[in-house]
Amino acid sequence: MPRHEEREPLQEAPPGAEAAAALDTRDLPAPRLARLILTVVLLGQLSVMVTNLQGAQPDPPRLVVSLGCLGLVFLIQLRHSSPRARHAPAWQRATTLAAQALLTYVPIVAFQHRWAAMAGFLAGSLLLLLPARWAWPAYGVVGVSVLIPPTLDGLSVREMVSLGQSTLLTGLVVYGLTRMAELILVLHRTRGRLAGLAVTQERLRFARDLHDLLGYSLSAITIKSELVLRLIPVRPGRALDEVAEVLTIARQSLADMRAVSHGMRRMSLEQELGAAESLLRAAGIRVRAEHRTGATEPAVDAVLAAVLREAVTNVLRHSRADSCVIEAAEEAGWVRLSVENDGVHSSYRDLSPDGGSGLDNLRDRVGALGGRLTTVHGPGPTFRLTARAPATAPTPAPAPAPAATTGPARPTAPASYAPQGAPRRGERGRGPREELPS
């Protein structure tokens, strides 16, 4: 039997998928609009400052210097409000904050309280770039500091309070709009990563379904083709009938493979049990099958049918079984499926690179339903697979679309899988299981 205890490492996502996940959000409408709103608000605040400065009727040189200082403050604030500002080295943040502080307080000497409102941008930058334990106290200190110029200018208490409030509110607006723009950017990046993850999951689903479908169907075609080869010399009429069944299986497999790509096929445990019994008998294996389950959720039924299909494929590929016992029963709200066969050496391990990981995939799917899949060697040359799952799935699977936890629908075995009669024990002549296709 294959070494189901070991998992093969997942393949890395191709460069195309990684590129899709790392979506360039700078060109998306929502992040671009958020940055535009932030820029417009900053320009609006600067226009108010220009109006205040003109009220002081400064001479042209002082006006030019003040406009230059406003432009520098605007550029520094744009840098502080960029998404990368918080991740800049500490010395860069300290340098830009010091420059903004100088541009905030030095011009007060020339323009008194009319320039004090520029402290609002500094307050917002402190909230953006400093750790919280330092940012909020520094924010409060800036708010108090703007009360000094109007005090020296002899303004009323109401005007002083108004100036302090506007400074603190400006800092909060700058901080809030910057954080909103960053949040929108993060949301769009997350959406891009989720889209890439959905593509990866769909690829894994398709690969898993293809493994379940072709592994079983090709095994059935191989077994029946071997039977045809033995029947041609002695029973050509029967051989023609088996060839027709092989053709039917091949056509059905082709149709099912197309359906798998759309996730529109769903397996039935009852139908799969009949098909498995017929296929094993066609391979010359004695089969005892029992089905004692009631109505179960379609998701549970599909997963257990997939487990049965993989178990039968492993019996044909990795053992020289003479007998196989299949039981499906419902016990106290749980559905139990067990497949036991002989012809297995306890030390056998499939070390081929294409040994597959079908039971690992199915173990995950059964676990997603709240159940468990176990495999046991012995006693003697026997192998037993048991899957237990609740008769009612935790979340109902939508039909016909596949569910993320239960996997997509699988093809059902056609009725023509059943041969017209079981071959005699002397007709088996089966070669090594490892040479059969998977």
What pLDDT shows up at residue 25?
45
pLDDT tens sequence for the chain (438 residues)? 333 333 333 344 444 444 343 444 444 566 778 788 888 888 888 888 887 777 667 778 887 888 888 889 889 998 998 888 888 898 999 999 999 999 988 888 877 777 888 888 999 999 999 998 999 999 999 988 888 888 887 888 888 888 888 889 989 989 988 888 888 888 888 887 887 787 777 677 667 767 666 777 777 788 888 888 888 888 888 888 888 888 887 887 777 777 666 555 567 888 888 888 888 887 788 999 988 887 788 888 888 888 888 888 888 877 888 899 999 998 888 999 999 999 887 665 554 444 445 677 788 888 888 899 998 887 888 899 999 999 876 654 444 444 333 333 333 333 333 333 333 333 333 433 333 333
Domains and CATH numbers, the chain: 24-195 (no CATH), 262-346+355-421 (3.30.565.10)
DSSP letter, residue 381: S
What pLDDT shows up at residue 299?
84
Token pair belonging to 222: 């191989």
Please tell me the distance from the alpha carbon of residue 267 to that of residue 394, in angstroms, as a whole number: 19
Residue type, 95: T
Token pair belonging to 359: 């039971």
What pLDDT shows up at residue 276?
85
What pLDDT shows up at residue 13?
40
Judged by DSSP in three states, 233 sits in coil
Please tell me the distance from the alpha carbon of residue 273 to that of residue 406, in angstroms, as a whole number: 19
Count of other CB atoms within 10 angstroms of residue 352 = 10
Q: How many CA atoms lie within 13 A of 23 on its CB side?
A: 19
Please tell me the distance from the alpha carbon of residue 222 to that of residue 193, in angstroms, as a whole number: 43
What pLDDT shows up at residue 261?
60
Please tell me the distance from the alpha carbon of residue 108 to that of residue 104, in angstroms, as a whole number: 7
What pLDDT shows up at residue 347?
60
DSSP letter, residue 329: E
Give phi and psi for 375, each to the nearest 5.
Answer: -130, 140
Residue of 406, 401, 405, 396 whose CA lies nearest to 263: 401
Question: What does the pLDDT look like over 317-364, one tens digit per residue?
Answer: 778 888 999 999 988 889 999 999 998 876 655 544 444 456 777 888
Question: What does the pLDDT look like over 202-251, one tens digit per residue?
Answer: 677 667 767 666 777 777 788 888 888 888 888 888 888 888 888 887 88
What pLDDT shows up at residue 11?
40
